[in-house]
Amino acid sequence: MKLAQRTALVTGAGSGIGRAIALCFAREGAAVAVNDIRRDRAEAVAQEIRALGRETLTLPADVSDSVEVRAIFEQLTAQWQRLDILVNNAGIVELEPSRQQRLIQAHMERLAGSGAPAPLAISQSITDMEWRRTLAVHLDGTFYCTREALKLMEAQRYGKIINMASVAGLTGLAGAAAYSAAKAGIIGLTKAIAREAIHCGVYVNAIAPGFIDTPMLAEMDAEMKRLIALQAPIGRFGTPEEVAAVALHLASDDSSYTVGQVLSPNGGFYM
Ligand code: NAP
């Protein structure tokens, strides 16, 4: 087992990629604390971890709220005294149907070579609230959890911080300006903190998945999914388990020379 005796916290672990990572780490021997904004979901995954015979904690909180984040770290420290692995995974996405339709239509018009394209009018319609919430959950949330984790990890002279970015942060995605900006911000944050924290044996890296089949994309138009899958040479979406395998590599001592990197399981969508 690659994570025996380790303690981990995974944010947004009540669903999708976070859940797969939490269960993968538990199978590899770690005690895993489960954060999610939804208490019932966090509790359900904690139950699955217990069934694997591992210790767990349920830590519901909104990661975009620094007071709530401090409180869950206090709870974790009181129970376990140390934290070896943090996965900053919690995230949201805006999949407004009419925006998706406009993107599909524009794509079809380009393929058909027909006339002057109509304005997409997507980024100009992003509200202040949508922009701020997206940045708050992804970028503030990653920073707040990292700040608390560093207090423990630098003192214990060991740690692994894994930040969930996205191909959106590497290449930019049409129709997802706030999300792409937040994920690019996470990549910058990863690199800056990686340079500081490695002095104390704390490794900071990011994962930038391509399109992964999770509840986050349940609202995505089927035609949009088909167009996206065709853009990846592998011809399909990834699975949460395929991302968890990359997280396990970064969480374990197999990645002992990997600092400030962005690993991108994306089926060739972005090279
Ligand atoms: P998911 O299935 O929706 O899981 C994300 C979980 O995080 C949900 O349970 C969600 O609750 C929770 N959450 C949302 N806001 C939170 C907050 N403020 N505090 C704590 N928990 C919160 O999504 P996923 O696809 O597994 O995505 C996980 C991460 O991977 C995200 O950072 C996402 O951006 C990233 N990612 C996903 C893909 C993909 O194609 N799926 C690709 C690249 C990167 P609610 O459901 O109530 O919001």
Q: For the residues 104-125, what does the mean pLDDT come to?
A: 87
150 domain residue, yes or no: yes
CA–CA gap between residue 141 and residue 121 (Å, rounded): 29
Question: Ligand 1 centre and the CA of 92: distance in Å?
Answer: 5
CA of 199 to the centre of ligand 1 (A): 31
> Could you tell me where the beta strands, DSSP code E, fall in 85-165?
85-88, 159-164
50 found inside a domain? yes
Is the pLDDT score of 13 beyond 90? yes
Percent of the chain with pLDDT over 90: 95
Asked if residue 6 has pLDDT above 90, the reply is yes
Q: Has 144 been annotated as catalytic?
A: no
Domain assignment present for residue 176? The answer is yes
Answer yes or no: is 232 within a domain: yes
Whole-number pLDDT of residue 111: 86
Which two structure tokens, joined as six digits, stand for 111?
């393929």
Prediction pTM value: 0.98
Could you tell me the pLDDT band of residue 41, with boundaries at 50, 70 and 90? very high
How far is ligand 1, taken at its centre, from the CA of residue 36, in Å? Answer: 9
In a domain, 236, yes or no: yes
Residue 70, number of CB atoms within 10 A of its CB: 16
**d(C-alpha 52, C-alpha 60), whole Å:** 21
Task: Map residue 112 onto helix, strand or coil.
Answer: helix
Mean pLDDT computed over 48-62: 98
Asked if residues 207 and 163 have their Cβ atoms less than 8 Å apart, the reply is yes
164 within ligand 1 shell (Cβ under 6 A): yes
pLDDT digits (tens, 9 = 90+) for 136-175: 999 999 999 999 999 999 999 999 999 999 999 999 999 9
> Residue 26: which of 37, 18, 38, 15 has the closest Cα?
18
The C-alpha atoms of residue 174 and residue 244 are separated, in whole angstroms, by 26
Range of the domain at 210: 7-96+132-263
**Eight-state DSSP code of residue 139:** I
What single letter denotes the amino acid at residue 19? R
CATH number at residue 194: 3.40.50.720
Number of domains in the chain: 1
What is d(CA 185, CA 180) in angstroms, rounded to the nearest whole number?
Answer: 8
Query: Average of pLDDT values for 95-102?
Result: 92
In a domain, 119, yes or no: no
Is 36's C-beta closer than 6 angstroms to any atom of ligand 1?
yes
For residue 117, name the pLDDT band (cuts at 50, 70, 90): confident
Tell me whether residue 171 is in a domain. Answer: yes
Catalytic residue, chosen from 144, 158, 179, 203, is 179
Q: What is the mean pLDDT of the chain?
A: 97
Predicted confidence (pLDDT) at residue 249 exceeds the cutoff of 80? yes
Pairwise CA distance, residues 1 & 30, whole Å: 9
**Residue 216 alpha carbon to ligand 1 centre in Å:** 6
Where b means 16+ CB within 10 Å and e means fewer, 183-193 reads bbbbbebbbeb
In a domain, 61, yes or no: yes
pLDDT of residue 104: 92
Q: According to the model, what pLDDT value does residue 118 have?
A: 83
Residue 11 and residue 57 in contact, taking contact as beta carbons nearer than 8 Å:
no
The pLDDT-based confidence of 113 (bands split at 50, 70, 90) is: confident
Q: How many CB atoms lie within 10 A of CB 230?
A: 10
Percent pLDDT > 70 in the chain is 100
Residue 89 in contact with ligand 1 by CB distance below 6 A: yes
Q: Is residue 17 in contact with ligand 1, taking CB distance under 6 Å?
A: yes
User: Given ligand 1 and candidates 35, 132, 214, 264, which is best to mutate, with the most ligand atoms within 8 Å of its CB?
Assistant: 214
